[in-house]
Amino acid sequence: MSNFEASLHHGAEPLIIDLPNVMLSSAERPKVEPFSDHHNDLAGTLKFACQMVGRGVHDRRSAFHTPVLATQSPSGPEARVLVLRAFDLPTRTLTFHTDTRSAKLLQLQADNRVALTFYDAARKTQLRMNGTAHLHINDAVSQQRFKGSRPSSLRCFLGAQPGSASPVASSGLPAGLEGREHEWAELQAAEANFAVLNVCVHQLEWLHLHTAGQRRALFVWADKTNDSKCAMQWLNP
């Protein structure tokens, strides 16, 4: 067993978001990428993975902008795409927005264990994360994120309950709200339906498919609330 522990002092090391080779448009991407420097380096792999997640927050064209969140429910697993809103590296926390009336909120309140799956098909790179969800409803965290969001991404919280039946094809929004910009005054009613979902990650698995040799690596934080220790090891893909 190659399982070993290593200290990673993320807090002391600023996250480098700017990755020139991640900024290539799909048309510019080479079909098969050369092996990266970190390909045989566990700490480098973790750093690169975190950089890709950081880029997923800020670059809407990034495949990592829209991971899949899986939850458990009495009737089986549920999984859906969410937009990644923020990533705090020192606390390994990913932030999403959700509707207080959504089915996933009830699922998370009953069982806050989640899996997150990121996949960049062009880079043939998958990140799987396991973590615990923490909901913020009508508190300082949700209020701050609501105020910091663009009106266009808050409009949906003015609509009918997500997932409720509609007699006709509908956006669920009140008449007159679509296809235009919004004033903050119009969005006040949205705040009651706005929740912040923070996921604290305690396990991360990296998979890189490559014709010259696939790579898979596992990173586990023993302390679920503190980033001081990370156990890293290679896995057979």
Angle at the Cα of 174 from the Cα atoms of 169 and 178, rounded to 5 degrees = 80
Q: Which is nearer to a copy of itself, 79 or 139 (CB)?
A: 79
What count of residues does the chain have?
A: 237
Q: Please, what is the minimum distance in Å from the beta carbon of residue 178 to a copy of itself?
A: 6
Strands 125-137 and 86-88: unpaired
CA distance readout (Å), 234 to 49, 83, 152: 14, 29, 42
Element (H, E) at 56: helix 42-58
Q: Which of residues 110-139 bind a copy of itself (CB under 8 A)?
A: 111, 113-117, 119, 121, 126, 128, 130
Distance CA 187, CA 175 (A): 14
Q: Please, what is the minimum distance in Å from the beta carbon of residue 230 to a copy of itself?
A: 16
Q: Please, what is the minimum distance in Å from the beta carbon of residue 141 to a copy of itself?
A: 23
Residue 80, interface with a copy of itself (CB under 8 A)? yes
Residue 149, interface with a copy of itself (CB under 8 A)? no
Residue 40, interface with a copy of itself (CB under 8 A)? yes
Q: Please, what is the minimum distance in Å from the beta carbon of residue 233 to a copy of itself?
A: 6
Residue 76, interface with a copy of itself (CB under 8 A)? yes
Residue 181, interface with a copy of itself (CB under 8 A)? no
Q: Which of residues 159-178 bind a copy of itself (CB under 8 A)?
A: 159-173, 178
- Residue of the chain from 81, 110, 189, 222 that contacts a copy of itself (CB under 8 A): 81
Residue 97, interface with a copy of itself (CB under 8 A)? no
Element (H, E) at 49: helix 42-58
Backbone angles phi, psi at 142, to 5 degrees: -70, -40
Phi/psi region, residue 213 (left: phi>0; alpha: psi -120 to 50; beta: rest), is left
Q: What is the dihedral of CA 4, 39, 221, 236, to 10 degrees?
A: -70
Q: Which residue has the tokens 């090891």?
A: 233
The contact set with a copy of itself (CB under 8 A) reads 1-3, 26-27, 39-42, 63, 65-66, 68, 70-72, 75-81, 111, 113-117, 119, 121, 126, 128, 130, 156, 159-173, 178-179, 211-217, 233-237
